[in-house]
Amino acid sequence: MSKAIFDITVGDLNITERIRPLLISLRVEDKAGHASDKARLELNDKDGAIVLPGRGAEMRISLGWEHSSIEQVFAGTVDEVRSRGNRGSGRTLLVSARGMDTLGSAKAQQEQHFDGQTIKSVLLTAGEASGIREVIVSEELEGVVLPYAEMNGESFIAFGDRIAKEVGGTFKVVGRRAIIYKRSPAVTTTGAPIPSVAAVVGDNLIDWDIAPIIGRPRFKTSKVRYYDASSASWKEVSVETGIDDTEAEFTDRHVAADEAEALRRAGGASTETARNAGEGWVQIDGNTSAQSEGICIVSGTRPGVDGSYRIDAVEHEYSRSGFITRLELKEPHGDAGTDEREETEEDDE
């Protein structure tokens, strides 16, 4: 295998060669949902010679392999700088960065309401007070109209995340840009499909811990009640989750304003139920193609575990010993969770 490489820029200055002999480890986290992307550098700070980067300085990180590709895996701002040390082991400097500015107003509470507007219009208006300059909505959600929405002491981040869950989507703030998209099929912010990633025993799979079936969060259907004004009666909508090995039904405790909202919320709950039907993680040789909401295809572990899983979080780690990628997995597909081999008498014994 070729040598792992990295590239780091702070502000307009490329500091790769300057910190190469000082870099102990580098970690980047990409999580689905509203959680902000994170990056952390651990540096040898002998004699305190490193000049501290300013809080809010822009940082970009790329990872890859020599004689192959190198891809940007993080863009954000410096959030924290921490010094550690003792008499025995010397000094280290930890530089942390986030994809969202933590001092920005996106976390400030707001009081607003919206009537009969699209998701994009609602988020654009709510985002103005939070410094959001752009809202990207996936094609499947562009035409969705919300009869009524309100921010009752919610931050823009919490509000966007709540709306996303109701429509079976994912919400994220990256810098001054808000992104909301349908969870499946997964696409990048430009609308291109996220490539799948393989985790193969005997090839790139280092280790794994996977439970393809979890009983507690599994439901057969998702139900939401609403009041039908035309018939002056309460009604209910039901959406199948696609999970057939249970008879349990999930019922939303909160009623919807109308049938359209009830269908959106039931569909969102159905998506969330299917997502949490299994879980686990794999560690593979460093792969910058891995992205949250993409698909990981696991093979060579055993029947019933091999199959496709949704990537819920990605963690890239570079150190002096190499480059590895850890994937948090959910939402099993295909053969994951089913072992169709026939039992033998020896198995029964």
Summarize pLDDT for 287-338 with one digit per residue, the tens.
999 988 889 999 999 999 999 999 999 999 999 889 999 999 998 887 887 8
First to last CA, the chain: 45
Same domain, residue pair 54 and 118: no
Same domain, residue pair 25 and 86: yes
In a domain, residue 190? The reply is no
Say how many domains are in the chain: 4
Same domain, residue pair 242 and 125: no
d(CA 290, CA 295): 8
Same domain, residue pair 309 and 259: no
Compute CA distances 340 → 155, 242, 303, 336, whole Å.
48, 19, 8, 11
In a domain, residue 188? The reply is no
Q: Would the pTM count as exceeding 0.75?
A: yes
pLDDT at 219 over 70: yes
pLDDT of residue 241: 79
Token look-up 């004689």 returns: 67
Same domain, residue pair 27 and 93: yes
The residue ranking higher by pLDDT, 194 or 4, is: 4
Give per-residue pLDDT as tens, 127-154. Answer: 887 778 888 888 878 888 888 888 888 8
Residue percentage of the chain with pLDDT more than 90 = 35
In the chain, count of helices (H) and strands (E)? Answer: 5, 21
pLDDT at 189 over 80: no
Query: CB-based contacts of 93: which residues, under 8 Å, 6+ apart?
Result: 41, 42, 43, 45, 50, 52, 81, 82, 83, 84
d(CA 249, CA 247): 7
In what helix (H) or strand (E) does residue 29 lie, and over which residues does it extend? strand 23-31
d(CA 9, CA 57): 10
d(CA 312, CA 293): 6
Same domain, residue pair 205 and 301: yes
Phi and psi torsions of 296, nearest 5°: -110, 125
Same domain, residue pair 116 and 18: no
Token look-up 């460093």 returns: 286
Using the Cα atoms of residue 226, residue 228, residue 229 and residue 234 in order, give the sign of their dihedral. negative
In a domain, residue 344? The reply is no
Domain range spanning residue 142?
Answer: 105-182
Q: What is the CATH number of the domain that holds 294?
A: 2.40.30.150
* Closest alpha carbon to 131 in 167, 104, 151, 160: 104
What secondary structure, in 3-state letters, does 243-289 show?
Answer: CCCCCCEEECCCCECCHHHHHHHHHHHHHHHHHCCCEEEEEEECCCC
Same domain, residue pair 22 and 94: yes
Token look-up 């994009």 returns: 120
Same domain, residue pair 127 and 160: yes
In a domain, residue 189? The reply is no
User: Binning pLDDT at 50, 70 and 90, where does residue 209 land?
Assistant: very high
Same domain, residue pair 316 and 203: yes
d(CA 157, CA 131): 12
Same domain, residue pair 24 and 141: no
Strand order in the sheet with 249-251: 233-240, 221-228, 249-251
In a domain, residue 144? The reply is yes
